[in-house]
Amino acid sequence: MAAPPLLTLQDVALTFGGTPLITRADIAIAPGERTCLVGRNGSGKSTLMKIAAGLVDPDKGRRFVQPGTTIRYLAQEPDFTGFDTTLDFVEAGLPPGESTHRARYLLESLGLTGAEDPTKLSGGEGRRTALAQALAPEPDVLLLDEPTNHLDLPAIEWLEVELKGTRAALVLISHDRRFLSALSRATIWLDRGETRRIDQGFSSFEAWRDAFFEEEERDQHKLDRKIAAEEHWLRYGVTARRKRNVRRLGNLHELRQNRREVRRPVGSVSMQASDAESSGSLVVEARDIAKSYGERKIVDGLSLRVMRGDRLGIVGANGAGKSTLINLLMGRLAPDSGQVVLGTNLLPVVLDQARAVLEPGMTVTDVLTGGRGDSVVVNGQSRHVIGYLKDFLFTPEQARTPVSVLSGGERNRLLIARALAQPANLLVLDEPTNDLDLETLDLLQEMLGDYQGTLILVSHDRDFLDRVAGSVLVSEGAGRWVEYAGGYSDMLVQRGQGVEARTVAPKAKEPRERNAAPAAQPAGKPKLGFKDQHELKTLPARIEKLEAAIAQLKTILADPELYARDPARFDKASTMLAQAETELSQAEDRWLELEMLQAG
């Protein structure tokens, strides 16, 4: 006999601002179950997860948790108030009397030391700290909303192994197809306010969803034909029996009402990149280039040719130097030795992973038009900004919305819309898949497949790399980069292993004995001096200021009339931008160097 569900939601509904978000949702999570929750951005997945966690009360419906069941939820914005270190925060999630070994193991596996000040964490560090706290107690039910955000490839693959070994029932929200396919055994689909379930993992979901939409479309066609037949009867049928006519007229009104109420899928994104004149056949050539900061080698002896139409994926652990490598290839940073040759007639557009260009006070329209009118030029044609925004699933009401209120997915769609509106023959995309739903990822992939220019892509999304990249450039450590033909899976076959973490992490899974003592620290571990410790603490603030300065300078230079109006200001802003980007790259690499020294 099957065990009763640990967590149940029955006929749950919730309305926000007068608009129904969830109309009828049912969830039942059995012990040890592996379930993924999927749906479009804005469909209410995260809200439904919060209802399951008991953090949000539904307008109607019932939530039931078996007595004694422990549930942990991965918070999107953790509250670190009252904690001196990240280790303190994670240990607070452990049951009373539990060994702190697991907390330390999880933090180290996620690239943290446990000594970090929670008030000074970056967004990614805060996310990893929250993930460690959620995993620490090994609960009965684990609710994880986008757990792979801000994780690099080694950490994602480590997390897969960790979750496969846990006894907890899992409910996962993720845009990472490979991650969902590896872990899920059941799928709950939240579509237009209602949930549907199949007892198969995510790998079977998309075929099932497409079949459902096809059946729904057939039903709509049948309803359309029935309405047409009734209208024909009213116009030309026998009119002798008035009561019968009245009844059929009522039936027709009911059919029309049903047709109007047919719930259609949310609109789809329409993506098309603005083409520019073709570049030369050679886009970028690196000739035995090297770049180091102190004793830390970022690039060592790299020779690489990127030709017109190539799709180059760049992968590596956080801190491998991917941003520095891109700056070298784009000519923004000079190598210590070797030479970088840029092709002719290059028009590059860079999608900023940090979203620094999106100033909180700007409106959605301002981001696309630079505050000049209501039109945006796409592929040489002027389009009204609202029409262009509809292509990316924004409503007319959102055109004047401040950027600060947009969700992560909406911000990323807006950045993609902005990038694709600019004429380019070279696209440099840094983590473009962050916060996008699966359907939008499909459309982005199709757009990149049709794109006539050259693509350089930095991503931790293994499935997306497989679908888009023609070759993959991988960090092998110590500044060595090797190019492999094909996507990520092809690289695995050729290389024999995945991407390794930048620092050495525990390779064996944590022992299950809770009272096991932590391993002794090796003797002679290098320690940072006072000056280096101070620099390590102050670098994140400096990096943040540089990012803000770069965003402001890019906004100034985005004005197409600036050069004609004020050439001196244009030249000054260009010089300051190049200097700030160089300083940012140096500051990031110095921070990584100090982190490595501190980790020993």
pLDDT band at residue 507 using 50, 70 and 90 as cut-offs: very low
Confidence band of 524 (pLDDT split at 50, 70, 90)? very low
163-197 residue pLDDT tens: 999 999 999 999 899 999 999 999 999 998 999 99
Q: Measured between alpha carbons, how far is 463 from 471 in angstroms, rounded to an integer?
A: 14
Q: Which residues are annotated as a binding site for ATP?
A: 39-46, 316-323
pLDDT at 432: 83
Nearest to 89 by CA among 110, 68, 118, 63: 118
Specify the residue for token string 């994602």.
156
CB atoms within 10 A of CB 172: 25
Model confidence at 216: pLDDT above 90: no
On whether residue 496 sits in a domain, the answer given is: yes
d(C-alpha 448, C-alpha 442), whole Å: 10
On the question of pLDDT at 88 being above 90, the answer is yes
Can you give the CATH number for the domain in which 424 is found? Answer: 3.40.50.300
Q: Does the structure show a pLDDT above 70 at 227?
A: no
506, pLDDT greater than 50: no
573 inside domain: yes
Give the pLDDT score at 515. Answer: 37
What is the DSSP code (8-state) at residue 3?
Answer: P
| Lowest-pLDDT range of 29-33, 66-70, 74-78 | 74-78
Residue 323: the pLDDT is 85
User: For residue 49, which amino acid is it?
Assistant: M
DSSP character for 112? -
| Integer angstrom CA distances of residue 509 from 287, 513, 532 | 42, 12, 33
Provide mean pLDDT across the span 449-463.
88
Structure tokens at 281: 């056949």
Predicted confidence at residue 502, as pLDDT, reads: 52
**H or E element at residue 47:** helix 45-53
Last residue of a domain, one of 206, 232, 257: 206
The predicted pLDDT at position 224 comes to 67
Question: Quick one: what percent of the chain has pLDDT higher than 90?
Answer: 30
Total of domains in the chain? 3
Calpha distance 114→373 (Å, rounded): 50
Residue with tokens 């004429």: 423
Q: H or E stretch including 37?
A: strand 34-38
Report whether pLDDT(79) > 70: yes
Residue-wise pLDDT for 390-411, tens only, equals 878 788 888 888 887 777 777 8
Residues 185 and 301 in one domain: no
Q: With cut-offs at 50, 70 and 90, classify the pLDDT of residue 54.
A: very high
Is 234 part of any domain? Answer: no
For 260-347, list the strands marked E by DSSP: 282-293, 296-307, 311-315, 337-342
The answer on 202 and 158 residing in a single domain is yes
474 alpha carbon, distance to own chain's centre:
21
SS3 84: coil
Beta carbons of 379 and 275 less than 8 angstroms apart: yes
* pLDDT surpassing 60 at residue 355: no
Q: Which two tokens stand for residue 301?
A: 């002896």
Separation of alpha carbons 20 and 263, rounded Å: 13
Same domain for 502 and 358? yes
Known binding residues:
39-46, 316-323
Residue 441 domain-assigned (yes or no) = yes
State the SS3 of 405-433. HCCHHHHHHHHHHHHHHCCECEEEEECCC
Collapsed DSSP state (helix, strand, coil) of residue 169:
strand
**Looking at the structure, do residues 319 and 377 belong to the same domain, yes or no?**
yes
Residue 40 lies in a domain: yes
Spatial distance between the Cα atoms of 541 and 528, rounded to a whole number of angstroms: 19
Rounded CA gap, 348 and 279, in Å?
Answer: 10
Statement to judge: residues 501 and 565 lie in one domain: no
Q: What is the pLDDT of residue 403?
A: 82
Determine which of 273-282, 363-372, 408-417 has the lowest per-residue pLDDT on average: 273-282
Is 215 a domain residue?
A: no
141, 292, 327, 336, 478 from 586: Cα distances, Å: 43, 10, 11, 13, 17
Domain limit, last residue, from 512, 537, 560:
512
**Pair (61, 94) in one structural domain:** yes
The reply to whether 308 and 171 lie within a common domain is no
Residue 332 sits in the same domain as residue 363: yes
- One domain for residues 426 and 326: yes
Whether residue 66 contacts residue 128, with contact meaning beta carbons closer than 8 Å, is answered with no
Q: Do the beta carbons of residue 7 and residue 33 sit within 8 Å?
A: no
Q: Are residues 571 and 495 in the same domain?
A: no
Proportion of the chain above pLDDT 70, given as a percent: 80
Q: Does residue 234 contact residue 249 with C-beta atoms inside 8 Å?
A: yes
Distance separating alpha carbons of residues 184 and 164, to the nearest angstrom: 10
Burial of residue 477 (number of CB atoms within 10 Å: 0-12, 13-18, 19+): middle
Whole-number pLDDT of residue 352: 63
Which of 105-109, 231-235, 330-334, 591-595 has the lowest average pLDDT? 231-235
Please, which pLDDT band fits residue 455 given cuts at 50, 70 and 90?
A: very high
| Band (277; pLDDT cuts 50, 70, 90) | low
In a domain, 53, yes or no: yes
Asked whether residue 429 carries a pLDDT value surpassing 50, the answer given is yes
Q: Would you say the pTM of this structure is higher than 0.85?
A: no
Torsion of CA 181, 428, 290, 301, to 10 degrees: 60
Contacts of 582 (CB under 8 A, 6+ apart): 327, 332, 333
Kindly list the distances between the CA atom of residue 471 and the CA atoms of 176, 437, 475, 529, in Å, as whole numbers in the listed order.
Answer: 20, 25, 13, 42
> pLDDT category, 504, cuts 50, 70, 90?
very low
At residue 250, the 3 state secondary structure works out as: helix
Cβ contacts of 202 within 8 Å, gap of 6 or more: 36, 38, 177, 180, 181, 184, 187
Asked if residue 421 and residue 531 are part of one domain, the reply reads no
Provide the CA 137 distance to its chain's centre, in angstroms.
27
Q: Are strands 60-65 and 7-16 parallel, antiparallel or unpaired?
A: antiparallel
Q: Which of 144, 171, 206 is the last residue of a domain?
A: 206
- Residue 14 or 417, more confident: 14
Q: Which amino acid is it at 65? A: V
What's the pLDDT score for residue 138? Answer: 86
Q: How high is the pLDDT of residue 17?
A: 67
- What is the residue range of 545's domain? 525-600
The full DSSP string for 444-499 is: HHHHHHH--SEEEEE-S-HHHHHHH-SEEEEEEETTEEEEEESSHHHHHHHHSS-P
Q: Rounded mean pLDDT of 93-121?
A: 88
How far apart are the C-alpha atoms of 600 and 42, rounded to whole Å?
44
Same domain, 533 and 417: no
Q: Is residue 261 part of a domain?
A: no
